[in-house]
Amino acid sequence: MRSCFAALIAVLSLSGCALFHSGEILPAPGSVAEGQTPLDALQTGSVPGPAQAPVDAGTQAEATETEATPASEPAACALGSRFVHNTRYDGDRVVLADDQALVLRSVMAVNTDGAPNSFHPKDPWGETGLAINTVCNAMSVFAADRRIVRPDQCRKLVSEFEHIRDGNWEPEDGARLILWGVARQGDRRPEKYRPCLNQQAPYAGYMIAPTALAADPEKGLCEQGRYLNALEVPFIIRPSGREFALRGVDRGDLAMVLEPVSGRMSPAIIGDIGPGWISGEGSVALHKALRGVETLPQSRGATRVYGAGETVTVIFPKEAIPPGPITPAAIAAAAQNAFSAFGGLARLRACDAELVADPLAPQVAATPAAAQ
């Protein structure tokens, strides 16, 4: 009986790696190839795991004399507080938080702010292949009848926009644009009613799409290069709200975003603060990374279905990139450092498990990244 028990222990001891190893390994110092960022290594799986020594007959014999090694304790989320963020379309979203991090699940929409091809005067619907968004997401209109036409009246808004555009932005009937998602030529009349137009090829003629966080503050307000490029820079829009503000979450803070089904991740920076009813938005570049695709949307319709779906985001308040230009490489390096200090993927997965199990969590199944 003793020999049978010992043999069973040996089998468990030898198979413990397969039973308990998660396979989710963060880059270790010195394990990232030359020319590769830590995030590249993390996402491509090129970081080697622990060396596996061959097992010979003598080792197997010795194993019968030892007890099986117990599995290590699973990572714990251990964020000390929580609050509920109310959204318009995604239900009540639980947010786990402490002084160092916040973790939340969200159905992250695609945000085109800062994309040089976001809005074009000749493609107000984003249907002809010029623009990837509609002007209804960038402005309201003060119509000739002295009524405000809002974004939820998109058909009328586009009609009024075309009327104002064809009147050289100042038609005689007094209709004017109220710009908030397109940069204005100035803060006084008549400049504040006129959109900034890009003068640089290959995007000459496009309206300038700004971001609150400047990539290069030295550039002018009517230069697209001043703003984060949504096609290249992974950034998120965090919802407004008292709870986020109390915890110091602001523009320029770093984050890591996980698509929980595929396991793809992307670093990010908070580029703006959006309305309180959203659960979150991310730049085109962020969704591109989370979906693992190479193509970019070429129209508003393509942009609408470009999102990665349900995501898990950890935000690091007061963690920012070093002074200098805001580039994808700078974001990746600083976000990876913050993510490693947080506890990496194992801890983020533990927090996600708490979010999914929370009684207040919406019954939204995790979905794979959208098909291209």
Could you read off the pLDDT of 31-42 as tens digits, one per residue?
444 444 444 444
Q: What's the CATH class of domain 81-112+230-357? A: mainly beta
Is pLDDT of 182 > 90?
yes
On average, the pLDDT of the chain sits at 83
Q: What are the residue ranges of CATH 2.40.40.20 in the chain?
A: 81-112+230-357
- Determine the pLDDT at residue 349: 97
Q: Which amino acid is at 366?
A: A
CB atoms within 10 A of CB 22: 10
Strands in 139-142's sheet, in edge-to-edge order, are: 148-149, 139-142, 176-179
Q: What is the pLDDT of residues 59-69, one digit of tens each?
A: 443 433 434 44
- Per-residue pLDDT band for 248 (boundaries 50, 70, 90) equals very high
Q: Which pLDDT value is given to residue 48? A: 38
Peptide bond into 202 cis (omega under 30): yes
| Model pLDDT, residue 288 | 98
Q: Are 281 and 236 in contact (CB under 8 A)?
A: yes
pLDDT in tens, 301-338: 999 999 999 999 999 998 988 888 899 999 999 999 99
- pLDDT above 70: residue 111: yes
Q: Which residue, 44, 46, 49, is CA-closest to 32?
A: 46
- CA-nearest of 302, 356, 354 to 130 is 302
Under DSSP, is residue 107 helix (H, G, I), strand (E, B) or coil? strand
Least confident range of 28-42, 122-136, 199-213: 28-42
**For residue 268, what pLDDT is reported?**
98
> How confident is the model over 89-95, as a mean pLDDT?
90
Other CB atoms closer than 10 Å to residue 297's CB: what's the count?
22
pLDDT score of 362: 61
- Interhelix angle 328-342/344-357, rounded to 10 degrees, is 70
